[in-house]
Amino acid sequence: MANADLITGYLTELRASLAGRPDVDDLVSEVGDHLNCAATSLHTRGLDPESAQREVLNRFGDATLVARFLSSTPSGGLVMPTRLTRTAGSFALAASIAWLVAAPAALIGAGSDEWEAHYLTLALVVFVASACTTVAVFGLLRRAGGARDATTVVAMLLAILGTLVLGLVTWAWIIGVGLLTIAVLVTVLRLRSARLGTTIRTMIGSVLLVIAWPLGIATALLLDTLRVGPIDSYGDAHIAQLIGFATGSVLFSAALFLLGRWLRSETAIDASKSMATSASRATT
């Protein structure tokens, strides 16, 4: 058609609202073909080009509502970046810093009586790190369309429980990080099912998020078996445990950094603003 400004504007808005979908180009192209064909059909029946486009767009529906339908999941959530997911990205970056600090905090004074003096500091740092991680996990689940579905609820409960364990009994870190690992595994699987995080960086981040603590636990168990370092009164190789914790902490920090940068880099979709734009276009 000679004038396709209305449809072009609609498609531009729809593309912005669907920015989080990996197949956005295919979807917008398909919608564009449908709209142009329908407008051409109305034009051949006597409507002028602009009226034909306006009629087709009115029939097709508001761009924001269409985007919500195309981005919705069985759980009732929306697969799109929002201010909430961007905020969660900030928490992921904060968690990354906290876990990185926790590594040397755990090793300071290791193997001597001085370590006990640093225990409360370590417990506080680990609690902050795990609490920020829990918020980041929530953001990742929401980014993948999680809402009040069972998967999201279970993952969040595990993350919260893991945070409480790490904060209250940091010495039982294997239990706490084990709970966090299950929570992040569920989260990563959710991201994969939504076809999100497919860049190399986010894929590396997702893999590290899942394997960080298992590798840390494996390191601790291996070094403990080899009886590395002095043996404490409980018969444990204390340094081995701390080295394993530090290993997992550093890897987990790297994972959260990569995923946090991804969430922060996305442009939040302001549904209310988009709705206002659509209403304005429809009345002009």
Half-sphere exposure of 110 (CA within 13 A, CB side): 21
pLDDT tens figures, 130-154: 999 999 999 999 998 887 889 999 9
Residue 147 near residue 76, CB atoms below 8 Å: yes
Query: What's the per-residue H, E or C state across 10-75?
Result: HHHHHHHHCCCCCCHHHHHHHHHHHHHHHHHHHHHCCCCHHHHHHHHHHHHCCHHHHHHHHHECCC
Tokens of 159: 């993350």
pLDDT tens figures, 233-278: 556 667 888 999 999 999 999 999 999 999 999 877 654 444 444 4
The mean predicted confidence, pLDDT, of the chain is 84
| Residue of 266, 249, 188 lying closest to 215 (CA atoms) | 249
CA dihedral 156, 157, 158, 164 (to 10 degrees): 110
Instruction: Please state the domain extents for the chain.
Output: 5-75+270-283, 83-265
Q: Which band of pLDDT confidence, cut at 50, 70 and 90, is reported for residue 186?
A: very high
Q: Which band of pLDDT confidence, cut at 50, 70 and 90, is reported for residue 224?
A: confident
**Residue whose entry in the numeric block shows the structure tokens 């709209």:** 35
Q: Measured between alpha carbons, how far is 46 from 49 in angstroms, rounded to an integer?
A: 9
Q: Measured between alpha carbons, how far is 180 from 265 in angstroms, rounded to an integer?
A: 25
Query: What's the per-residue H, E or C state across 2-28?
Result: CCCHHHHHHHHHHHHHCCCCCCHHHHH
Residue 70 near residue 27, CB atoms below 8 Å: yes
188 CB-near residues (< 8 Å, 6+ apart): 206, 209, 210
CA dihedral 206, 212, 218, 222 (to 10 degrees): 140
121: left (phi over 0), alpha (psi -120 to 50) or beta: alpha
Q: Given a cut of 90, is residue 13 above it in pLDDT?
A: no
Q: What is the DSSP string of 137-191?
A: HHHHHHHTT-SSSHHHHHHHHHHHHHHHHHHH-GGGHHHHHHHHHHHHHHHHHHH
Q: pTM score, two decimals?
A: 0.75
Residue 125 near residue 279, CB atoms below 8 Å: no
pLDDT of residue 93: 98
